[in-house]
Structure 1
Amino acid sequence: MKTKMLMNNEKILAGITLKDPNEPEHNNMALHACKNPASILTNRKKLADFLQCELAQFVCAHQTHSANFHKVTLGDRGKGALQKETAIANTDALYTYEPNILLSVFTADCVPVLFFDETSGLTGVIHSGWPGTVKELTLKLFNHLIQVEQCNPMHIQVHIGPAISQRKFEVDEDVYRQFKNLGYADEFIDYNSKTRKYHIDNQQTVKRQCMIAGIPEDNIFIDPTCTFQNPNGFSYRENKQCGRHLSFIMRKSN
């Protein structure tokens, strides 16, 4: 099972699956973007076995590039794990305080964000494609966690996973304007006068949103792997029929 593990200690399990030509559909993990759902379930079962957990512990969302987030409870265990129809609807971020629940997010160029707070037991995942970034999903979720859930931003650790790089994320003026209007993304935008295209660093913009919420920069890690350029990456921009990575995080019970 080709997987990049970010953490695997006595408290936290976190990582991202990688593209693998030796697995069905190249290790695609997404039921919403596949040729054969049975192959996806085979891949997910292999992942569960690799992580030494059960598919019934997975929780998946029906991602819609929204600014919506959902607090996962024990009653949500298994949602979206075996059928896309049971996934948590219209949601692009999940968080929980429950142990032994594997929160999942699917990406292929979009920015996956994993976060945790060992003090409170908080874990969470965010799917931030450019629409989610300009809707400030990450900022809104962390503001909610800090202001409503009373989380201490100093204790929150954030991992921003592999995504399309600024070099390969080429957009027209309509998308540029939406990033420009954020008011804090200018330094992450380049203009190519030859192609008349803009190049935007979505990962750095998401990182800035974390920092605006109050999370210390030292608590934020970025994986610079470009999903478009790296052979281990699924890239929707490169191939509209591509599969999806699954980024995951779970707090283990003591």
Structure 2
Amino acid sequence: MKTKIYIDNEKFVAGTTLKDGTAPEHNNMAFHACVNPETVLENRKRLATFLQCNPKDFVCASQTHSANLHKVTLADKGRGAVVGATAIPDTDALYTTEPNLLLCSFTADCVPVIFYNEVNGIVGVIHSGWQGTVKEITLKVFERLKKEEGCDPSDFHVQLGMALSQEKFEVDEDVYVKFKALGYADEFIYFNEATNKYHIDNQKTVEKQLKLAGIPENQIDVDRTCTYVSSDGFSYRQDKQAGRHASFIMKKCN
């Protein structure tokens, strides 16, 4: 199983699956972007074996580039894991305090945000494509965790997964205007006069949002691998038929 592990200790395991030319559908993990759902299920079974869990321990959302967050309970175990239609609807961020649930986020260029908080026993994932970023999903998630779960932002540790680089994320003025309106993304934008396109670093914008949320810089790790350039990456920009990575985290114990 071609996988990059970011965290693996006695309390948490977190990482991302990688594109693999030798695997069925290149190790695609997403039902919504597959040729054959059975292939995705087989890939997920291999991931579960690698992580020493069960595919039915997975919890998946139907991602819609929203700013919606869902608190996962034991009743959600297995949602979207084996049948895509059972995924948690219209949701792009998941968190839980329960152990032995593998929370998943699916990306091919978008920014995956993986986080944990040892003090409150919380783990979670966020899917932040550019639309989620301009909706400030990451800021909203941590604001809600502060209000509803009593979390101190300084207790969070965050991993940003591989995503589309600024060089490869070129957009027209309509998208530029939305990032500009955030008021803090200017340093992550440049204009290419030759192509009349703007280039935006979505990953660094999300990183800025984490800092604005109060998460200490030394507790934010960033995987700067470009999904477009790397052979390990699925890129929707490069290939509209691309599969998806699964970025994941699981709390191992109470």
Aligned partner of 1:117 in structure 2 is 117
Determine whether 1:86 maps to 2:86.
yes
Task: Give the Å deviation of 1:154.
Answer: 1.1
Would you say 1:214 and 2:223 are equivalent positions?
no
Cα displacement string for residues 215-244 of structure 1 (whole angstroms, at most 9, x for unaligned residues): 111111110000000000000000000100
Tell me how far 1:213 sits from its aligned partner: 1.1
Q: TM-score normalised to the size of structure 1?
A: 0.99
Show the 5 A alignment for 1:159-198.
159-198=159-198
Quote how far apart the aligned CAs of 1:249 are: 0.0
> Which position in structure 1 is the counterpart of 2:204?
204
Cα distance, 1:148 vs. partner? 2.3
Q: CA deviation at 1:147?
A: 2.3
Q: For 2:191 and 2:143, how far apart are their aligned partners in 1?
A: 31
Q: Give the Cα–Cα distance (whole angstroms) in 2 for the partners of residues 119 and 54 of structure 1.
A: 27
CA distance in structure 1 between the aligned counterparts of 2:14 and 2:162, rounded to whole angstroms: 14
Residue in 1 that maps onto 2:65: 65
Structure 1: where are the runs of 5+ without partners? none
What are the superposed Cα offsets for residues 11-36 of structure 1, whole Å, 9 maximum, x if unpaired?
Answer: 11100000001110000000011001
The TM-score, its normalising length taken from structure 2, stands at: 0.99
CA distance in 2, matches of 1:124, 1:81: 16
Report the AA paired with residue 57 of structure 2: Q
Corresponding pairs, count: 254
The one-letter code of the counterpart of 1:100 is N
- 2:14 is aligned to 14
Summarize deviations over 1:171-193 as a string: whole Å, max 9, x none.
00000000000000000001111
RMSD of the TM alignment (CA)? 0.7
- Give distance in 2, aligned partners of 1:203 and 1:140: 17
The CA distance in 1 between the partners of 2:125 and 2:22, in whole Å, is 27
For 2:35, the equivalent position in structure 1 comes to 35
Deviations 1:75-131 (A, max 9, x none): 000000001100000000000011111000000000000000112110000000000
The corresponding residue for 2:98 is: 98
Tell me the SS of whatever aligns to 1:20: coil
- Equivalent position SS for 1:148: helix
Once the 2 structures are TM-superposed, how far is the Cα of residue 149 of structure 1 from its aligned partner? 1.4
Q: Which structure 2 residue ranges, 5 or more long, are not aligned?
A: none
Runs of 4+ in 1 over 4 A off after TM superposition: none
Task: Give the Cα separation in 1 of the matches to 2:77 and 2:128.
Answer: 23
Select between 63-72 and 147-156 the one with higher mean Cα deviation.
147-156
SS across alignment from 2:104? strand
Structure 1 residue 150: deviation in Å?
0.9
SS at match of 1:230: coil
State how far apart, in whole Å, the 2-side matches of 1:96 and 1:84 are. 20
What pairs up with 1:222-241 in 2 under 5 angstroms?
A: 222-241=222-241
| Counterpart AA for 1:127 | H
Residue 9 of structure 1 deviates from its aligned partner by 1.1
